[in-house]
Structures are given as C-alpha cells and as structure tokens.
C-alpha cells in the first residue's frame, strides 16, 4: 500500500515492507511477521535492527517474547527533514570549497577546464559565477556599446551590479566612451568600479573579455549570444597582466566625453 512512498523516502525494499507490516498490523514478534513479510528470519532481524537504529521501530520484551512496534509515520518525516537539512549544509560547504578544489585540480593537471554557454540564460550563469566566494577583483573590457546588457537582461543586470558591489568585489573596467556608458563617478564609487576610459575607435568589438579568480570569460553579444569560460591559473594571470598594461596605455589617451 505504502511501499513506493516509503522507498522514495529513503527506505530499502525490505525496510519498507517490514515497517509497513508493523504500521498496518500493530506490534508483532518476529514469528508473527515472518509469514507476512516472506523474508528469511536472519534477514528480518537485520532489517529490524536497521529500523531500530533509524528510530522507526522500537522493541520490548513481553512474556519472554521480543515485540517490535512501528513508530508514528511523523518520525520518518522528521528523519527526511533532518536529511534534507544535512544535505543542504553539505551542498553549501561543497560549493564554498569548489573554487579552491577546482583551482588545485587545474594546477595539478595543468589542463584548462573549458565551458561553453549559449543564450541569455547561459550568460546569466557566467555572471552568477563571478559572484561566488573567492572573487575579490574583477577585470574586464566592455563591448563597444553599453546598452547590450540592458537589451540582453533588462533590469536584472542593474541588480547584478548592485549585488556585486555588496559582496565587496572591486571591478577594474576598460570602457569605451559610449553615450550609453555611465559617466557619473558617484555611481562608479557606489558600485566599486575603477574605470579606465577608451576611445570608441580603440575597441569596436561586441565581445566582453573578463578575468576573475582563475578564470577568463569571453562573452559575445554579436549576432549569436554565447560565452566561453576557460579555467586556467596561468591564462588568468596572463590576462590580468595584459589588462594592467592596457590600463596604463589607455590613461595616456585624451578622452573628450563629448556626448551633448
């Protein structure tokens, strides 16, 4: 009657059968259970021991016989809730440790991990990855037009910028002097953005290139929207050095900011 529900809740087939029998027929001895569960006596004792250990069955001696009693079904619900809580904690701990574990893997194998993402939802995953723990800084060069973000994500991207700032991530941005770009230093300060301006003619690609942690992200806002993330300590370090050189060179240029 409840076998499928009980097995989905985490009991084995034998455990579900024995627990259901006690649930439906009340307290029983092993001798009484045997014909109802149709499993060998030795296995039945082992199954009962497991159920007792999990708190789903209790035993007591009555008239020199051991009587087994099923605990209320709410007990199983509590066990499931406890398991979900432990699983959630395990997942959170694993997610926190994952960047360092993957970094160690890359270093030990010296093989870059390459991931490909398609469409707007795929790009969201890249931006969310930039917010994971262990991201103190973010370096990037923006596509020629700033409005590509609004066209792709709407107001979600503004919320992303606020979340990034709240996490304390400092962003070093190489930005074309586009009419749609933010030119307000107060907004940049609030968003923890250190901006280096470029002349529009110096970078005309619809491609964003970004470095964060040990990753390099290449994101295309052209005809096809896609992104490639390369996880490599050496490549990420090289790209950050290139960004640093580009910033120094860009600061020697005269930017008019004439958008009247």
222-254 pLDDT, tens digit per residue, is: 888 999 999 988 899 999 999 999 999 999 988
Give the pLDDT confidence score for residue 110 in this predicted structure: 67
Contacts of 56 (CB under 8 A, 6+ apart): 15, 19, 70, 71, 75, 76, 79
Residue 6 and residue 80: Cα distance in Å, rounded? Answer: 11
144 close to 205: Cβ distance less than 8 angstroms? yes
Instruction: Output the CA torsion sign for 218, 228, 117, 131.
Output: negative
The per-residue pLDDT for 203 is: 93
pLDDT value at residue 160:
96
List, in order of start, the domains of the chain with CATH numbers.
Answer: 3-75 (1.10.10.10), 112-250 (3.30.870.10)
Q: Look at residue 260 in the predicted model and tell me its pLDDT.
A: 58
Is residue 139 helix, strand or coil? strand
- What is the predicted pLDDT for the residue at 2? 77
pLDDT at 7: 84
Q: In this predicted structure, what is the pLDDT of residue 259? A: 67
Nearest Cα to Cα of residue 142 among 188, 196, 65: 196
The segments of the chain whose pLDDT lies below 50 read: none
User: Among residues 203, 208, 196, which one has the least CA distance to residue 255?
Assistant: 196
36-73 residues labelled b (16+ CB within 10 A) or e (exposed): ebebeeeebeebbeebeebebbeeeeeeeeebbebbee
CA distances from 217 to 82, 83, 139 (A): 39, 37, 10
């Amino acid at each position: 009657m409840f076998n499928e529900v009980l097995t989905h809740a985490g009991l084995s087939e034998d455990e579900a059968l024995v627990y259901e029998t006690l649930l439906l027929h009340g307290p029983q001895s092993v001798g009484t259970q045997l014909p109802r569960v149709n499993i060998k006596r030795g296995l039945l004792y082992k199954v009962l021991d497991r159920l007792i250990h999990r708190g789903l069955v209790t035993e007591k001696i009555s008239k020199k016989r051991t009587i087994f009693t099923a605990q209320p079904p709410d007990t199983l619900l509590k066990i499931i809730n406890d398991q979900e809580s432990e699983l959630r904690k395990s997942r959170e701990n694993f997610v926190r440790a994952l960047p360092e574990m993957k970094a160690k893997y890359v270093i030990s194998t010296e093989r870059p991990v390459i991931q490909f993402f398609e469409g707007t939802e795929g790009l969201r995953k890249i931006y969310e990855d930039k917010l994971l723990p262990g991201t103190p800084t973010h370096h990037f060069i923006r596509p020629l037009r700033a409005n590509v973000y609004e066209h792709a994500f709407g107001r979600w991207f503004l919320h992303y910028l606020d979340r990034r700032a709240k996490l304390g991530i400092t962003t070093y941005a190489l930005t074309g002097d586009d009419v749609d770009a933010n030119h307000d230093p107060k907004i940049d300060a609030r968003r923890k953005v250190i901006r280096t301006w470029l002349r529009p003619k110096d970078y005309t690609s619809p491609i964003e290139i970004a470095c964060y942690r040990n990753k390099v992200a290449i994101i295309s806002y052209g005809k096809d929207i896609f992104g490639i993330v390369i996880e490599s300590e050496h490549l990420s370090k090289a790209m950050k050095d290139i960004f640093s050189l580009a910033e120094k060179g860009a600061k020697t240029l005269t930017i008019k900011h004439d958008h009247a």
